[in-house]
Each structure stands twice: as C-alpha cells, then as structure tokens.
C-alpha cells in the first residue's frame, strides 16, 4: 500500500507520483516506486537542468561523442581517442569522507573504462569549509586519503586538482573527480542495447545493501528485521575495480560486447533502463540470478543497491562462454540475469513474482523535465579603489598571501597521490596543467578550474572565467585546448535565486566555450548542496583537455636561468574586485569579479602558444589568484631562483595583485625580448619587459623584497601545519 509518507520518503512530489500512476494506470508496487524514484530524481534525470544543458555547445571537429554517454570522447589523431568525464560525490564524502571520496573515484573511472578506454590520468576538485570549522580537518584528511587509497591501488596517476576552503562549504563539501582514458577511435563502446532476445549479463562484484537511499529505512519495515536491513555506506574495493578493468578490456577485445553500462547511481535500475531505452528495446530481468552478498535481499533492495564495481552488458550469445572464462580468470562474478525484448517494457521478476512492469522510455530518456522559475542575479556594486589602502608592509602582505589557505602549496595533498605511475607523467602536480604522454612526442594537458567567489559575485562572468582559466592553463603549457567536461555544483534549484545562478552560469559556460572553440562533451550536475538554508558558493567546475603535438616543446613554469628576462603578456592589472588579495589582506569579499573579454583571451593565448611552439619562451605561467605577485612567487619558488621586478614607480597594489584576465608571465633569453615584443605588437597583444630572473629573493624594486627561504616556509608551511593541528 503506497502511502503519502512513502511517496515523500522516495523524494517524489505529489504531482510526479500522480503522473506516474496515470502512466501505468494503477497503483505501483513498492519496487516500482523505488525504481521510478531513482529514475526521476535529479541525479539521474537532470529534470531541473536539462533544458539549460541543451544550450551548451557540444560539437566540434574533434568531438566523437558528446554528452549522453558514460563519458565524452574526442579524437586526438593517429586513431587515438581521449575519453573523459567529471562527476561529484559530495554528500557521501561528507557522511564518510574516506569511502565517499574513494567510491567517487571508482565511479568515474568506471564511466571511462566502460567505453573501452584504459584510464591514464585522474584529477580532483575539492572544496572544504573554513579551516577553523571543527569538521574541516577530519574531512580533508579522509577525502584525500580516500582519493589516494582508491586511485593508487587501481593504478591510475592522479596528476592534478584544486583545493579551496570557504565557510559556505561548512555543511556541504564538494568532491568532484575527473577521469581520463585512452582508447582507439574504432573501438569505443556504448550503452545503447541492440538486438532482441540477447542475454543481459551482470559482471563484477556481488550485490549487497550498500547505499540504498534513505527510502529503504521505511521499506525495511516491509522486509522486517530493520537492524539487519539498515542501508549501509558504500565501501570501495579498488582491487576488484582493477580486476574489472582488465576483464572488461579483455572482453571488449574478444568482440563479445554489444553494449555495456556501468552500475552507478541506483545501479541495476539505471543501467538496465538506460541500455534499453537508448536502444528502443525492452529489458526483462530475473533477479533470482543476481549474485548477492547478503541473504534475503528483496527485489526492491537489489534494484536500488549501489554496490560498487559492477557492470551490465549485452553480449553476443555465441561468445558467452568465452566471456565467462575471462571473468572467472579475474575472480569476478558473471551471471546472465535477463534478456532484451521488443515490447519496450522494463519487467523485473523475483521468486516467481513480477515485481515491476513499466514502460521503459518514460522511465529513461522521456523522464519529466522542468522549466523552474529563476531570478536574474543582481550585479555587485563596483569597488571604489580609493577606499582600499595599500598595505604599509608589502613584503609581509606577500608572505601572508602566499601562505594563505587557498594559495599555499598543496604538496601535503598530492604527495599522497601516486602521480608517476604509468611512466608517462610529463608534468607533475604544481604546474599550470598536468601533462601525460600518449606515445612518442604526443601528449595531452589536463586542468580543472573554477573560482567560486567570482561565480557567487556574478554567475555569468564567473562561469566564463572558469572556462577561460581552464583554457589558459592548458595554453600555458603549450597545449591546444580541445574540449571540456563540467561538474555543476549548486544549491536548491527550487529557489529561484539558485536556479538563476544555474541558468546564468550555463549561459556563461556556453558563451565562453563557443568563443574559445572548447565544446562540452560530458559533465555532471549536483544540486541541493544546501544545509539549513545555507547553500554552497555556486561551483561549476571545468575540466579541460588539450593536445601537445610535440612534448619537447612543452612549457613549464619554474624560472630556469639567472639572467632570463621576464615579460608580462597582457595588460597591467587594475581589477581588485573579488581578488584573493582583497580577501586575505583586507578581509573583504566584494566587488565584481574580473571581466572576461573572450576575444582578447583567445588572442593573447594563441600568441603565447605560438611563441611556446617556436621555443623562444623558457618559462610560462598564467596570472590568476593573487595576481602578478603570486605568479612571480610561484615561478621563483618552483625554479629556486629569485627575480628583480622593475615596475613604473606609479604602480600600486592593483597592478601587483589585480586578477585581470588573459594574462601570462613568461621568461626568455634577454636577446629575444625585442623580437617577442615586436611579434606581440604585430599580433595586437600587449607585452612588456618587467624584470629579470636573478638572486634568491623576489624583489619588487622600491616596494618589497622577500627572500625565497621565507617565501618557501610560508608557502609550504600552511598545509602541513594545519593538518597537524598547529593552526
């Protein structure tokens, strides 16, 4: 008997339930209610965001597969394809940081190798609450250990990421994981089922009561013995996932696979429905054949279990035996649990009963879709530069900035990730973008970026900026940016002001992607990141992939040689609104974010990439958080070489710390300066000599001198001290 309470516990709105009841013309069974609640929830159906996701540019010369599959696929030439996607595991990571983050990594790796790609790199974007919030330290420790624990054991290099702290994440941390895989363009696998009467095969780990959503609390009452049936946290098993990867790739090579879909959210339900609906086929499941880890599991539990390391496939019948042998070799379960039908029904049998019999299209690709009301965000008042006094001790301000939570070194984090496995890592964490070799001289560059304080202040400009910064980071290592994945983390879309952030953010992403020829090929939306009325900073994380044709020409950011000239490419800074300097030194988070002129961004970036290609630049770094000064400090620390910066006397803190966009710092041999500045002028790009690489301090003439030793201890010191509880 389906009560209103039960409907509520399943997260269905009364009208949604009505719609469903009409659709099937009767009261659903509990299992059917569970199935529809899984298929029609925000996570699987994208009902609030779909309308706006459609506005994103998703095509381009390099795009093989855009949004709609487990991951996006792009062509990088020579028959090589890059398969990549980013996904969030925010809530589970807040409940149980280690397992939540670990299973997040496991899930996104599966999305990538489900398509026939061997994962070659992983990245992650993490947002935590204020450092002084009582939960933060424990969450950081658990999440970082979980990401490393899974990726290291699975055997993928974790090559990059982001970590930010802000009180607005106190009650909702963000764990966004990105995986990147390498496949052959002629051997990509899809989830669309083909052919009637073919076996549907279950592969991988056994099914337990892991992560069945809160609703089972209620349903357990039906099953009796609540304690035993309590839904449990999903635990990751990277060992099984590694075996699953090898078994899947072996199986795909054998030609047995017609369609394949990993079991992620609402495992068996989502995967089966997606395969059928996409292929315009029905699916019939025999739950008695599902390998279970626990006794007495109900149909409801099996359909909603989120046990990890599982796959569903449609196989060529004649190859079933061969397929089974491969999975046994890897110690994995293999069971034929159903078959495809031509009646477009999703039928589920268990112990002789039909537990569910539903129209598959309406569950899947024809799920409900909303056009939620939204409010255009107000533009922040411009900042009055005159009421910001420059610090009287600039050197001290620089040390404070470089040792601040958001700008300090992330070594404590990335040293817990194996970033060299694979023997192809060409640029370690700490650079503008990670670089991984594909083969010979060909490599790809990877970066994840977003500056949530910008997006909060202006969702449209801030989201343009996220895309632009990702594009800039790829450019700064010499890569040609190709495509992105995105992970949209927002609050409750039923609130018009939040929906407004989402809409404007997607407009901004779309505009930037079009202007920079940087299409979106995959992504994920995480909404309702909100606790007791306080929602997170809007955080549309952008994960970009770029191509480096000749790794011998790759650029890196450390200062290389005493005497090298330092050039500023792009205009001098003047915008302090929402800058890190304003927040860390003046304790103010206000003003508009730096505006993004996409035409200028492209012009300047293309120029820098060309110069890198010519091999005349000895170091390159883009200017972002902390402005020119932070950029110089990072280049100096990385190269263990100081610099002498000679700016016009008139310059003040806006020139030093402004976060104006489309800017880079580059170094070259002194004799090259003239030629480069001329080339820049010809290309319509501002470029100016600002100083030289020299000594063992960052010296800004007449303003500040900071010895590298002091700078290093400030920069390297914060994270370990924080984690040790000394701060």
Ligand X SMILES: Nc1ncnc2c1ncn2[C@@H]1O[C@H](COP(=O)(O)OP(=O)(O)O)[C@@H](O)[C@H]1O
| Residues designated catalytic | 43, 89
Task: Closer to other proteins by CB, 228 or 288: give it.
Answer: 228
Closest-by-Cβ residue to ligand X is 523
Distance CA 291, CA 496 (A): 45
Determine if 635 is a binding residue for ligand X (CB under 6 A): no
Nearest distance, CB of residue 452 and ligand X, angstroms? 16
Three-state SS for 328-351 is HHCCCEEEEEEEEECCCEEEEEEC
Burial class (CB in 10 A: 0-12, 13-18, 19+), 379: exposed
Distance CA 72, CA 703 (A): 49
Determine if 103 is a binding residue for Mg ion (CB under 5 A): no
Among 129, 161, 264, 592, binds Mg ion (CB under 5 A): 264
Nearest distance, CB of residue 264 and ligand X, angstroms? 5
Task: Closer to Mg ion by CB, 110 or 663: give it.
Answer: 110
Yes or no: say if 197 and 281 are a contact pair by the CB < 8 Å rule.
no
DSSP state of 362: H
- Tokens at 52, concatenated: 């706006």
Distance CA 708, CA 642 (A): 7
Nearest distance, CB of residue 699 and ligand X, angstroms? 45
Separation in Å, CA 337 to CA 84, 301, 347: 29, 16, 12
Yes or no: say if 706 and 642 are a contact pair by the CB < 8 Å rule.
no
- Tokens at 367, concatenated: 């799920």
The answer for residues whose C-beta is within 8 angstroms of residue 596's C-beta and 6 or more apart is 461, 464, 465, 468, 512, 661, 662
Yes or no: say if 278 and 191 are a contact pair by the CB < 8 Å rule.
yes
Choose the contact partner of 235 out of Mg ion, ligand X, other proteins, none; CB within 5 to 8 A by kind.
other proteins
Task: Closer to other proteins by CB, 232 or 696: give it.
Answer: 232
Closest CA to 448 of 517, 523, 508, 511: 523
Task: Closer to other proteins by CB, 574 or 640: give it.
Answer: 640
Determine if 277 is a binding residue for ligand X (CB under 6 A): no
Nearest distance, CB of residue 672 and other proteins, angstroms? 23
Among 16, 32, 75, 87, binds ligand X (CB under 6 A): 87
Q: Which stretch binds Mg ion (CB under 5 A): 64-72, 347-355, 607-615, 718-726?
A: 64-72
Task: Closer to Mg ion by CB, 178 or 565: give it.
Answer: 178
Yes or no: say if 403 and 392 are a contact pair by the CB < 8 Å rule.
no
Q: CA torsion angle for 463, 466, 467, 469 (degrees, to 10)? A: 150
Determine if 181 is a binding residue for Mg ion (CB under 5 A): no
H or E element at residue 182:
strand 174-184
Closest CA to 315 of 332, 334, 288, 328: 334
- Tokens at 583, concatenated: 């927040």
Task: Closer to other proteins by CB, 415 or 562: give it.
Answer: 415
Distance CA 655, CA 677 (A): 20
Bridge partners (DSSP) of residue 126 are: 163, 175
Choose the contact partner of 67 out of Mg ion, other proteins, ligand X, none; CB within 5 to 8 A by kind.
ligand X
Nearest distance, CB of residue 418 and other proteins, angstroms? 4
Task: Closer to ligand X by CB, 425 or 451: give it.
Answer: 451
Interface with ligand X (CB under 6 A), residue total: 18
Ranges within 458-517 binding ligand X (CB under 6 A): 486, 488
Nearest distance, CB of residue 287 and ligand X, angstroms? 22
Nearest distance, CB of residue 289 and ligand X, angstroms? 24
Q: Which residues bind other proteins (CB under 8 A)?
A: 95-96, 99, 145, 148-149, 152-155, 205, 208-210, 227-230, 232-235, 237-240, 242-243, 246, 293-294, 307-308, 330-331, 414-426, 428, 437, 551, 725
Residues that bind Mg ion (CB under 5 A): 70, 111, 262, 264
Residues that bind ligand X (CB under 6 A): 44, 53, 56, 67-70, 85, 87, 111, 264, 486, 488, 520, 522-525
């Amino acid at each position: 008997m389906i009560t209103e309470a039960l409907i509520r516990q399943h997260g269905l709105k009364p009208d949604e339930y009505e719609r469903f009841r009409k659709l099937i013309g009767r009261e659903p069974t509990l299992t059917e209610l569970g199935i529809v609640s899984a298929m029609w929830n925000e996570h699987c159906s994208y009902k609030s965001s779909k309308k706006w996701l459609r506005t994103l540019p998703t095509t381009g010369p390099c795009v093989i597969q855009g949004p709609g599959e487990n991951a996006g696929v792009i062509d990088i030439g020579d028959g090589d394809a890059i398969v990549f996607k980013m996904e969030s595991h925010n809530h589970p990571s807040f409940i149980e940081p280690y397992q939540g983050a670990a299973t997040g990594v496991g899930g996104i790796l599966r999305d990538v190798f489900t398509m026939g790609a061997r994962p070659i790199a992983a990245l992650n974007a993490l947002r935590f609450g204020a450092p002084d919030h009582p939960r933060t330290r424990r969450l950081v420790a658990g999440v970082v250990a979980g990401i490393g624990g899974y990726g290291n054991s699975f055997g993928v290099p974790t090559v990059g990421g982001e970590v930010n702290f802000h009180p607005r994440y106190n009650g909702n941390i963000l764990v966004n994981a990105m995986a990147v895989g390498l496949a052959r363009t002629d051997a990509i696998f899809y989830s669309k089922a083909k052919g009637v009467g073919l076996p549907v095969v279950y592969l991988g780990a056994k099914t337990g009561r892991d992560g069945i959503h809160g609703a089972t609390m209620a349903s357990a009452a039906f099953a009796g013995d609540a304690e035993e049936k309590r839904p449990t946290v999903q635990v990751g098993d990277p060992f099984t996932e590694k075996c699953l990867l090898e078994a899947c790739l072996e199986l795909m090579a054998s030609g047995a696979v017609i369609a394949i879909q990993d079991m992620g959210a609402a495992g068996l339900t989502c995967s089966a429905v997606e395969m059928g609906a996409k292929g315009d086929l029905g699916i019939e499941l025999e739950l008695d054949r599902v390998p279970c880890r626990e006794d007495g599991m109900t149909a409801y539990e099996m359909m909603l279990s989120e046990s990890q390391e599982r796959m569903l496939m449609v196989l060529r019948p004649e190859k079933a035996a061969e397929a089974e042998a491969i999975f046994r070799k890897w110690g994995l379960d293999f069971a034929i649990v159903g078959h495809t039908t031509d009646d477009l029904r999703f039928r589920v049998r268990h112990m002789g009963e039909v537990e569910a019999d539903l129209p598959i299209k309406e569950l899947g690709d024809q799920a409900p879709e909303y056009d939620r009301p939204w409010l255009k965000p107000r533009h922040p008042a411009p900042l009055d530069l005159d009421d910001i006094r420059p610090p009287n001790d600039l050197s001290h301000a620089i040390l404070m900035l470089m040792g601040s939570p958001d700008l300090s070194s992330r070594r404590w984090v990335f040293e817990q990730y194996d970033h060299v496995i694979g023997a192809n890592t060409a640029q370690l964490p700490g650079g503008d973008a990670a670089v991984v070799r594909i083969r010979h001289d060909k490599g790809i560059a990877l970066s994840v970026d977003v500056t949530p304080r910008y997006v909060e202040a202006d969702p449209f400009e801030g989201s343009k900026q996220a895309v632009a910064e990702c594009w800039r980071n790829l450019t700064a290592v010499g890569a040609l940016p190709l495509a992105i994945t995105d992970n949209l983390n927002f609050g409750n879309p039923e609130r018009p002001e939040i929906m407004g952030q989402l809409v404007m953010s997607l407009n901004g992403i779309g505009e930037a992607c079009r202007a920079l020829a940087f299409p979106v090929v995959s992504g994920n939306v995480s909404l309702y990141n909100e606790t007791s009325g306080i929602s997170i900073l809007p955080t549309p994380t952008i994960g970009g992939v770029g191509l480096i044709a000749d790794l011998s020409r790759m650029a890196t950011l450390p200062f290389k040689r005493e005497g090298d000239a330092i050039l500023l490419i792009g205009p001098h800074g003047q915008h302090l609104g929402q800058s890190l300097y304003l927040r860390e030194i003046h304790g103010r988070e206000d003003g508009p974010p730096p505006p993004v002129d996409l035409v200028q961004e492209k012009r300047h970036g293309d120029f820098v990439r060309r110069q890198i290609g010519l091999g005349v630049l000895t170091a390159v770094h883009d200017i972002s958080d902390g402005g020119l000064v932070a950029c110089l400090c990072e280049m100096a620390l990385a190269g263990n070489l100081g610099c002498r910066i000679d700016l016009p006397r008139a310059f003040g803190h806006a020139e030093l710390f402004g976060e104006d966009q489309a800017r880079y710092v580059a170094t070259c041999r002194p004799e090259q300066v003239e030629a480069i500045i001329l080339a820049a002028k010809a290309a319509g790009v501002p470029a100016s000599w600002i100083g030289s690489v020299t000594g063992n301090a960052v010296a800004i003439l007449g303003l500040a001198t900071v010895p590298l030793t002091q700078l290093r201890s400030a920069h390297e010191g914060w994270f370990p001290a924080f984690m040790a509880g000394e701060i």
